């Protein structure tokens, strides 16, 4: 399979699974479709020779975030109840019109670029390997990303503490 047909196959699968996420009525099925969409996106990252990002996508998104959402869905949604939140037709029509107008304008803007958006010709290779990434992530000179890395660490810690505080038992928000 050539690179082009592989790209179209991957892109079609990502689009299909994402459409399933926003259209299926059962939320558990939507979460499973989201997992499939993330797997195919990881395959796309591999095609772009970004191995570390692909693995991080699988481990962080699929192993962490979506599993957390699945657990929350199982805790909250009454899965047996049919048509818990029926979508109104007007909402669908308005949503479809809004997002298709947005998409059409973005497509028009992209395709108006002279000669198309092209890169520098030669795709970058060998840049996603683990050693380069790790060094760049922890270097403190002008090339490094040490400060954003530490900021992200503080953000994660704060968010997890805040999540524990908000979800604690016996708390009432608006008494």
Partner 1 sequence: MTLQNCIYLSTILFCIGIYGVLTRRNLIGILLSIEIILNAANINFIAFSHFSASDAAAGSIFPIFVMAVSASEMAVALAIIISLYRQSNNLDSRLLRSLHG
CB of 57 to partner 1, least distance (A): 7
**CA-to-CA separations, 16 to 27, 78, 98, 102, 118, in angstroms, rounded:** 16, 26, 20, 19, 26
Q: How far is the CB of 149 from partner 1 (least distance, A)?
A: 8
Q: How far apart are CA 18 and CA 20, in angstroms?
A: 5
Q: How many CA atoms lie within 13 A of 127 on its CB side?
A: 6
The closest alpha carbon to 157, from 169, 168, 149, belongs to 149
Cα dihedral sign for 134, 140, 142, 145?
Answer: positive
Instruction: Kindly state the smallest distance separating residue 134's Cβ from partner 1, in Å.
Output: 10
Q: What is the Cα–Cα distance from 69 to 9, expressed in whole angstroms?
A: 28
Q: How far apart are CA 87 and CA 169, in angstroms?
A: 32
| Least distance (Å) between residue 16 CB and partner 1 | 10
């Amino acid at each position: 399979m050539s690179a082009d047909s592989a790209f179209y196959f991957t892109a079609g699968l990502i689009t299909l699974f994402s459409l399933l996420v926003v259209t299926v009525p059962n939320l558990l099925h939507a979460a499973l479709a989201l997992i499939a969409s993330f797997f195919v996106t990881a395959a796309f990252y591999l095609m772009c020779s970004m191995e570390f990002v692909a693995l991080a996508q699988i481990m962080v998104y699929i192993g962490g975030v979506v599993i957390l959402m699945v657990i929350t869905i199982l805790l909250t949604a009454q899965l047996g109840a049919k048509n818990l939140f029926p979508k109104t037709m007007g909402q669908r029509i308005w949503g479809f019109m809004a997002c298709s107008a947005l998409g059409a304008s973005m497509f028009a803007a992209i395709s108006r670029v002279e000669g198309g958006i092209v890169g520098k010709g030669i795709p970058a290779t060998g840049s996603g390997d683990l050693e380069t990434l790790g060094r760049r992530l922890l270097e403190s000179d002008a090339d490094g990303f040490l400060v954003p890395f530490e900021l992200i660490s503080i953000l994660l810690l704060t968010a997890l503490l805040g999540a524990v505080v908000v979800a604690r038992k016996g708390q009432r928000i608006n008494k």
